[in-house]
Structure 1
Amino acid sequence: MTCNFTLDFWKEEGWYVGKLREVPGVFSQGKNLEELKTNIKDAYDLVMQETVPTPVKRI
């Protein structure tokens, strides 16, 4: 499944800094826009791993 999100970004002290508007807590930075997009995808994956509960094996 593909999800589309809005990336709000700005330039700060030589870095591109961004956050996903629809997903609180997902933010990153990069030396250029391509690096920012790669890093924001990684940040999204990490947040989703933390928020999705791990299935518990029933006995």
Structure 2
Amino acid sequence: MSHKLFGRVKLWPQDSGIYSIRDLKDGQLPDDACLVQFNGTSKPWHGRPSWTLEHWKK
């Protein structure tokens, strides 16, 4: 869906604190992160990277 919508819908500004897990270098959580999107097979409940279990809210 991201691929199909690219360039067709408004996006959040880069400094909004919204990230895709695939964009995080070495899986490190940025200080300004307020939302991390998990596209694909990597999900927060899998515990990779390790900070996901600490911050995951059901």
TM-score normalised by structure 2 residue count: 0.22
Higher strand share: 1
Q: Please say which structure displays the higher CA radius of gyration.
A: 1
TM-score normalised by structure 1 residue count: 0.21
- Greater relative contact order structure (CA < 8 Å, 6+ sep): 2
Higher helix share: 2
